[in-house]
Chain A
Amino acid sequence: MNDTSRTLLIIDDDKPVRHSITAFLEDSGYRVLEANDGPAGLELYAAGGVDLVITDLRMPSMDGLAVLKNLHDISSEIPVIVISGAGVMSDVVSALRLGASDYLIKPIVDMEVLVHSVEKALERRDLLAQNKKYREKLESANKGLRENLRVLERDQVAGRQVQRRLLPKPQVTAEGYSIAHHIAPSLYLSGDFVDYAHVGRRYLAFYLADVSGHGASSAFVTIWLKHLVSRMVREEGLFSTAESFETGASEMLTSINREINETSLNHHLTFFVGVIDTHTGQMRYVVAGHLPMPILVTDGKAEFLLGSGKPVGIFKEVSWQVHECQLPEKFSLVCFSDGVLEILKASTLQEKERDLLALMAQKAQNLQTVCDALAVQEVSDTPDDIAILTITRGY
């Protein structure tokens, strides 16, 4: 593998030997520079462009070992082949210790051996250089990745803060209805969302939505949803009248369904939407593909609310039935997104639902007791978002 662009430097005070080596190496396709002592050699090397040095060990003024040391002080990567007279093994050993690539014994009988040694040393140098380049490339790629990851994480954290700010604040109405929520995202951003408001000082309206998937794209949909529903409440008087109390929940889902089908968001949502008339304790609600069903706890007895309905954003022609329920003076209503099923130990869905009921019969006094009972705070690697919405009265 002779490369004409390779430049070799040969340092030897013995002119005939030096010339014969030079001639042979030039015939082998190398460019060769000659120096007749150490200082001259170092000077030539310093001028640059030398790929490999061949130096005699025994020279006046500066011996080969000193040349070798000097060279390696300048660059530890330059391959140096030393040539020594026969019988001076101690010098050879010192030279190898100092990092010489190879040594040859004078007189050099077979020049091919020298050429072979040069080729090997150059190849090794190339490999080392390549290796170093790869390592640098990898390290820089790694650094780049780490930085990108940090940027993405910062971005996600910022997104999470935005999403948090869109969530409602827990409140207690004049009639003693307390409403609160907890959301544990599986990543930074959540595809679960809750919102609630006490509309017109009478109707306590709330929903818990679970957007399919999780992470950023689902979180975008939750933000869009918040905007959409807020607008309906603000501009269309959703849940602010006796009439809207009766039918608002289903109208809300119909509108959202239509919007999703028009925008082809590629996401669907499951919902629990409810509205309580705080003057009468009457509740109206709709369910859309939601699991598990909300749980109503009264007198230590827990039951799933009845009713069913299709998820939002899949079916074109679909309507939702509004269900009715009279809430007692003292009750708690707990609604979960399906992520909660992931943290229950039982194996089948039916068993999980049963366990959840049994747990809530004891522990549904308020949001904190619900979260503690399920150990939501301790769960760090839930594969899905978990949202919990609690409405209680009389505790």
Chain B
Amino acid sequence: MRPGQILVADHAGVFVIKMLGDVRLTLCISFDQFIDDMFARGDFGGVLFDLSEAEAIDSTTLGLMAKISILGEQRASSRPVIYSTNPSINRILETMGFADIFTIVDELQEPVPDAEPLSEEQPDDEDILKTKVIEAHRILMGLNRENKETFTDLVNMLEGDQ
């Protein structure tokens, strides 16, 4: 397995947290700090976890993801999106019951926004947010294909042979 790496980027207040390889945050102060900073941002609008290149995720990281979800609900009443394509990772997410606190997707097609309702009622925030989050992710991914620097390397853990 590749040593774990976490990359973060944001676009218009939407944060993308990309995890690669074997992610272990046994004693991760920096990620905790990042979470605090992220929610301190005035324009915080949502989070997308890109786990498509993650090979394994340890329990500490899962706990922090749950923390982000719960804080995100409080802060922007937006449910974070998880983009995950690896069956091993999907199995862990399912066991953890994450489907209840995340929107888990296995492809990044934008949901078709509903036609604008003419009623006085609130439009369905969920879909609008999801669109926004996924859009941000695509922009970042587009930049990222050629240019890794879009994403700041948050944590680079070298396990084993330190």
A binds B: yes
Q: Are A291 and B60 in contact (CB under 8 A)?
A: no
**A187, chain B: closest CB distance, angstroms:** 9
* Residue A384 interfacial (CB < 8 Å): yes
A-B interface, 9 closest residue pairs, ranked by CB to CB distance from nearest: A310-B97, A349-B88, A212-B59, A314-B66, A213-B60, A212-B63, A349-B91, A348-B88, A291-B95
List residues of chain A with CB under 8 Å of any chain B CB: 210, 212-215, 266-268, 270, 289-291, 308-311, 314-315, 338, 348-350, 381, 383-384
**A264, chain B: closest CB distance, angstroms:** 10
Could you say which residues of chain B place their CB within 8 Å of the CB of A212? 59-60, 62-63
Residue of A nearest to B58 (CB): A384
Q: Are A268 and B87 in contact (CB under 8 A)?
A: no
* Residue B36 interfacial (CB < 8 Å): no
20 pairs of residues in contact across A and B, judged by CB atoms under 8 Å: A212-B59, A213-B59, A214-B26, A267-B63, A268-B66, A270-B59, A289-B95, A291-B92, A308-B94, A308-B95, A310-B100, A311-B96, A314-B66, A314-B96, A315-B97, A315-B101, A349-B87, A350-B87, A383-B159, A383-B160
**How many positions in chain B have a CB within 8 Å of any CB in the partner chain?**
22
* 16 extra interface residue pairs, beta carbon distance < 8 Å, beyond A210-B59, A213-B26, A315-B101: A213-B27, A213-B59, A213-B60, A213-B63, A215-B26, A268-B59, A289-B95, A291-B92, A308-B94, A308-B97, A309-B97, A338-B59, A348-B87, A349-B91, A350-B91, A383-B160
**B95, chain A: closest CB distance, angstroms:** 5
Residue of A nearest to B159 (CB): A383
Residue of A nearest to B88 (CB): A349
Q: Is the interface of A mostly helix, strand, loop or mixed?
A: loop
* Residue B24 interfacial (CB < 8 Å): yes
List residues of chain B with CB under 8 Å of any chain A CB: 24, 26-27, 58-60, 62-63, 66, 70, 87-88, 91-92, 94-97, 100-101, 159-160
**B74, chain A: closest CB distance, angstroms:** 12
Could you say which residues of chain A place their CB within 8 Å of the CB of B27? 213, 215
Residue of B nearest to A293 (CB): B95
Could you say which residues of chain A place their CB within 8 Å of the CB of B87? 348-350
Could you say which residues of chain B place their CB within 8 Å of the CB of A268? 59, 62-63, 66
Could you say which residues of chain B place their CB within 8 Å of the CB of A350? 87-88, 91
Q: Are A289 and B97 in contact (CB under 8 A)?
A: yes
Residue of B nearest to A191 (CB): B59
Could you say which residues of chain B place their CB within 8 Å of the CB of A384? 58
